[in-house]
Amino acid sequence: MNKLLQLLARLEVIPRKTIYLVLFIAAGLPFLYPIRLPLMIWKETRSAFNITQNSAPNKVVAICSNWDPGSQGENWPQYEAIVAHCMMNHVPFIVFSIDSDAVSPQLAETVNERQAKRYGCVYGRDWVNLGLTRGAPLVMGSIGRNIKQVFQTDYRHNSTRDFTKLPLMEHVNSLNDFSCLWDVEYTPNLDWTAFFDPASRVPLLFSCAGMVSSGYYPYISSGQIIGMMVGTRGAAEYENLLNEKYGKAFKSEGMRGQKLVVPLAFGHLVIIFFILAGNVGMIARRKLIANERAAKKGQL
């Protein structure tokens, strides 16, 4: 019995390098041997999908794309799914970044151009990248009142009032022209709820990292945020919804949500295993100590 306890007690002191190695193998193997697992679609993801799907044809989807290389593991698949959805649904969209990493607009544009090739979309007509500005949260209110004053040129230095190059911008002036606003970043900015449209006429949709998502649920229950895509899991769910809605028209090759969600799940499983193992080890050690004390008392 004591030998078994001694063996289990060793689980309490697993070397850090072993954890790293097991995690590396668990997260890496699904890339080599892809497998599919069932995925339940959460109502926050479905709600965000429905709002984007039902965008009025005369309005644009506004996307605040603040993700950077550090959060691309979760935000890239989310952003790509939103862009693919807008392009398939023939809903024009505008993208901008606020107070983000300087490379955010370029990352967004890389995804836009990649998806535009698949769905035959044209810059200026189907989407406009307005680039980066600073000065949140005041600038959020300005975007709602007069977006052309905030972004006087787009990312490619065309004037936002040059409607021959950017015909999409002719009818985009204020929040009345937005069907919804997506904020895609590691921790979406809650200032949108107070500064952009305090009357909540434009639905706010957040796309965040899994780790910080718990902080946004109070705002969903209050109706200030209408939908949310949580981490890679949310992106994979969104891709499933796109697949359900558009079938073969949805070109899923290279989409990252489905590809990353399984390695992530294995990673989580490894963490859960080690947490449980650590606790089993702790209980075994305590039992061992108790047994030793009892044995000593018996000797006395």
What is the longest distance spanned by two Cα atoms in the chain? 97
Structure tokens at 299: 């000797």
72 binds another protein (CB under 8 A): yes
Q: Are 232 and 249 in contact (CB under 8 A)?
A: no
Instruction: Tell which one of 50, 159, 294, 295 touches another protein (CB under 8 A).
Output: 159
If the CB atoms of residues 40 and 300 are measured against another protein, the closer one turns out to be 40
Q: Which residues contact 135 (CB under 8 A, 6 or more apart)?
A: 98, 99
Instruction: Tell which one of 125, 156, 171, 293 touches another protein (CB under 8 A).
Output: 156
Instruction: Tell which one of 1, 3, 16, 32 touches another protein (CB under 8 A).
Output: 16
- Min CB(255)–another protein separation in Å: 16
270 binds another protein (CB under 8 A): yes
Q: Which residues contact 101 (CB under 8 A, 6 or more apart)?
A: 66, 68, 69, 70
If the CB atoms of residues 6 and 146 are measured against another protein, the closer one turns out to be 146
- Min CB(69)–another protein separation in Å: 3
249 binds another protein (CB under 8 A): no
Instruction: Tell which one of 246, 278, 287, 288 touches another protein (CB under 8 A).
Output: 278
Residues in binding contact with another protein, number by CB under 8 A: 78
**Interactions with another protein, residue window 279-298 (CB under 8 A):** 279, 282
Cα gap 94→102, rounded to integer Å: 18
Q: Provide the mask over 23-62, with x wherever binding to another protein is found by CB under 8 A and - wherever it is not.
A: xx--x---------xxxx-xx-------------------
- Min CB(298)–another protein separation in Å: 28
Q: Provide the mask over 107-146, with x wherever binding to another protein is found by CB under 8 A and - wherever it is not.
A: x--x--x-------------------xxx--xx-xx--xx
Residue 14 Cα distances to 18, 181, 279, 282, 296, angstroms: 7, 46, 12, 12, 29
**Interactions with another protein, residue window 208-227 (CB under 8 A):** 210, 213-215, 217-218, 220-221
Q: Residue 33: which region, alpha, beta or left (left: phi > 0; alpha: psi -120 to 50)?
A: beta
254 binds another protein (CB under 8 A): no
Q: Which residues contact 142 (CB under 8 A, 6 or more apart)?
A: 149, 150
Q: Where are the beta strands (DSSP E) in 115-241?
A: 127-133, 178-184, 204-208, 227-230
If the CB atoms of residues 92 and 257 are measured against another protein, the closer one turns out to be 257
- DSSP secondary structure letter of residue 194: I
